[in-house]
Structures are given as structure tokens and as C-alpha cells.
């Protein structure tokens, strides 16, 4: 058996070698020629899987160590019998940490009061649920918009997008990229938002119409972007307009990367019947990287901001990115994974 894997997936080297020939390549280099004699590929979002790259190969299984699936042509794979598995929910905790470290950090710098603020969460899947839970624990008013969930579960817990945009002081996106969400944050979206509100996107860059966002920027109170159109070549003018700008690392927690690799390896193990790896999980060798419990009850906004920044100093990531925006991929591949925190 031959497996081709993205060399930037952590904790993977040495795991599958007892069972297969494993070839490691940069994700962007995993093309048709690399896949042609592979039985399985283990990838991230940088590897495109479609008819052009997969046709005529012997690939029967794709394991993506990421949540997003927009880099894979799922209908084509299904029609050709290719098993596709992703790491659903793997980085939810890391993204939630990112959102609140950014939010309280900006509020501290800009003297924004968060008392009685309303946060609107668009997309309430694995990540959105984590953001919701943390927001409620911190005392925010919460509005949820998730049309697919509302259709399945009933509308009682959800509000229409237009209502959320009218009422929320903070709007954060956690939707997948698909035909329904591509460009959803456009001129009408930003026109409906409250003046002075905070906008956060840590989902996919193409969910946002960047021209519309640039036009609307004077209306917004603050702007946080982790994802961009045309990655790894983000718009430098848009970077300058952000309060916090980072190179698609919101989910880059140590636990998130453990989860992603574990789910990818387990998916390969289940597909090929490798019993020894069906419950695989990377070990945490450094005690300092284990997740930490923090108590924010009865703390002032300033105290909460200080505690969150201590556990995730997000402005360091912002500074490194602004200092070298052309190093988008290097900053991601050399990122020092941070430990997750959770609220008591």
C-alpha cells in the first residue's frame, strides 16, 4: 500500500510506515503525478482533489486533517467510489479561543465596553457551538443564524440573517465554504450591520466579498480577519484595515492539530483495516501544552482581557503577519501551536 501525505501535517511521520510506503510532500505539490500510484492521500486544504488531479489514479481514500471540504470535489469522488473523510470539529476549541482573545484584546485597546453586548454567530456547527458556549458563559447576549440547522430543528433557537445583523454588536462567521455561503458577506450584508459593530471572520476567506468589506470598513468599529481570498496572497490593503490580521491560524492549537491528525489516521485505519491504529491519538509529550482551565467568573472586562491574552497573546500573531505578509505559508508551517483553554 502507498500513501502520499502532506509533510506539514504534525505528529504523522512514523505512524503509518509499519503498514505502508509513505511519501511526504508539500501540500501544493501533491498533484496528479504524485497521486497516480497512491492508494490513499492524507492532506490539508492546500491540496486540490478533483477530476483533474484524481482521474486515472488508483486513489481509493482521501483523509483530510481539516474541517473544511471545499478543496475536494465531493460529487466527483462519490461517483468514482473514493472514500472521503475529514476531521470534523478538530479545531473548534482553538477557533473559539481565537475569537475571544481577539474580541477582548480589541476591546481593551479601543476602550470598547462589552457589557450587555450582543454577539451574532453565523454558522453554528462544531466551531459555532464552541463560540456560543463561551459567549454565554461570559454573559453575552447571543443570536444564532444557521439556516440548515433551523430547517432540521425548527426556527425557535435561530434568527434570520437580516435580524442578526440588525441587532448584533459583534458578528462572527463560522460557516463552511459552499455555493450558498460564497460571497455571502457582501454589500447588503455590511449595509445591514450596526454602525460601530465588530466583524470577525475565521471561517473561509471567500465567504466575504472583500471589495464590499473594504467599502464598508469606515462603518465598522473593529475588524478581525484570519482567512482571506487568494490565500496565500492576501490583499495587503485589507490587512492594513484590520485591527487583527492573522494567516489562517485561528484553529492552530496543539489539541486541534492532535485531533486533526488522529482523525485522519483513524479514517485510513478504518478504511484499510489497520486495527492497531483505529484508536490512534498523538501523545502530548510537553506538559506545558496540555489544555488549561481558567476561571473568569466575577472578573472585570480588563481582568478577562489580561487572562485571555496571557493564555493566547494574539497580537503576537498579528505582529508577525504584518511584519511579513509574504510569508503566509511559512508562518503557518512554522507556527508554534498554542495550548487550548476552557472556562471553569
What domains lie within the chain, and their CATH numbers? 2-86 (3.40.50.720), 92-251+298-343 (3.40.50.720)
* Sign (positive or negative) of CA dihedral 170, 174, 175, 181: positive
Q: What is the pLDDT of residues 103-156, one digit of tens each?
A: 999 999 999 999 999 999 999 999 999 999 999 999 999 999 999 999 999 999
Query: Exposed, middle or buried by CB within 10 Å (0-12, 13-18, 19+), for 242?
Result: buried
Q: What is the mean pLDDT of residues 18-33?
A: 97
Indicate if 248 belongs to the active site: yes
Integer Cα distance of 308 and 296 in angstroms: 9
Catalytic position from the list 71, 174, 248, 339: 248
How high is the pLDDT of residue 285?
82
If pLDDT is split at 50, 70 and 90, which confidence band does 19 have?
very high
Candidates 44, 204, 332, 338; catalytic one: 204
The DSSP output letter for 342 is E
Helix (H) or strand (E) holding 43: strand 40-43
Strand partners, 342: 293
Residues sharing a CB contact under 8 Å with residue 301, sequence separation 6 or more, in sequence order = 104, 107, 108, 113, 114, 115
How far apart CA 166 and CA 144 sit, in angstroms, is: 13
Instruction: Say if CB 222 and CB 249 are below 8 A apart.
Output: no
Q: What is the pTM of this model?
A: 0.93
Distance CA 187, CA 209 (A): 8
Catalytic residue among 231, 271, 281, 322: 231
Average pLDDT over residues 52-76: 96
Neighbours of 74 (CB within 10 A): 16
Distance CA 11, CA 317 (A): 23
Q: Mean pLDDT of all residues in the chain?
A: 97
Amino acid at each position: 500500500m502507498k500513501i502520499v501525505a502532506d509533510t506539514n501535517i504534525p505528529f504523522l511521520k512514523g505512524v503509518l510506515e509499519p503498514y505502508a510506503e509513505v511519501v511526504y510532500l508539500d501540500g501544493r505539490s501533491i498533484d496528479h503525478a504524485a497521486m497516480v500510484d497512491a492508494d490513499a492521500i492524507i492532506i490539508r486544504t492546500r491540496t486540490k482533489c478533483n477530476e483533474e488531479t484524481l482521474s486515472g489514479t488508483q486513489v481509493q481514500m482521501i483523509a483530510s486533517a481539516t474541517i473544511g471540504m471545499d478543496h475536494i470535489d465531493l460529487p466527483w469522488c462519490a461517483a468514482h467510489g473514493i472514500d472521503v473523510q475529514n476531521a470534523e470539529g478538530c479545531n473548534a476549541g482553538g477557533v473559539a479561543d481565537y475569537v475571544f482573545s481577539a474580541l477582548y484584546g480589541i476591546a481593551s485597546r479601543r476602550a470598547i465596553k462589552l457589557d450587555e453586548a450582543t454577539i451574532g454567530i453565523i454558522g453554528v456547527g462544531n466551531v459555532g457551538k464552541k463560540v456560543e458556549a463561551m459567549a454565554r458563559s461570559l454573559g453575552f447576549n447571543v443570536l444564532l443564524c444557521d439556516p440548515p440547522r433551523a430547517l432540521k430543528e425548527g426556527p425557535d433557537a435561530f434568527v434570520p440573517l437580516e435580524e442578526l445583523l440588525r441587532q448584533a454588536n459583534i458578528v462572527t462567521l463560522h460557516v463552511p465554504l459552499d455555493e450558498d455561503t460564497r460571497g455571502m458577506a457582501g454589500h447588503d450584508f455590511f449595509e445591514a450591520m450596526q454602525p460601530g459593530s465588530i466583524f470577525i471572520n475565521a471561517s473561509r476567506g471567500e465567504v466575504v466579498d472583500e471589495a464590499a468589506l473594504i467599502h464598508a470598513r469606515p462603518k465598522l468599529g473593529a475588524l478581525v480577519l484570519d482567512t482571506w481570498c487568494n490565500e496565500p496572497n492576501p490583499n495587503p490593503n485589507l490587512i492594513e484595515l484590520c485591527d487583527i490580521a492573522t494567516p489562517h491560524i485561528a484553529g492552530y492549537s496543539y489539541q486541534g492539530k492532535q485531533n486533526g491528525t488522529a482523525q485522519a489516521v483513524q479514517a485510513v485505519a478504518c478504511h484499510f483495516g489497520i486495527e492497531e491504529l483505529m484508536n490512534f491519538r498523538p501523545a502530548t509529550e510537553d506538559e506545558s501544552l496540555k489544555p488549561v482551565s481558567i476561571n473568569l467568573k466575577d472578573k472585570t472586562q480588563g481582568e478577562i482581557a489580561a487572562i485571555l491574552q496571557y493564555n493566547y497573546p494574539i497580537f503576537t500573531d498579528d505582529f508577525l503577519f504584518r511584519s511579513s505578509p509574504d510569508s503566509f505559508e511559512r508562518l503557518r508551517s512554522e507556527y508554534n501551536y498554542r495550548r487550548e483553554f476552557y472556562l471553569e
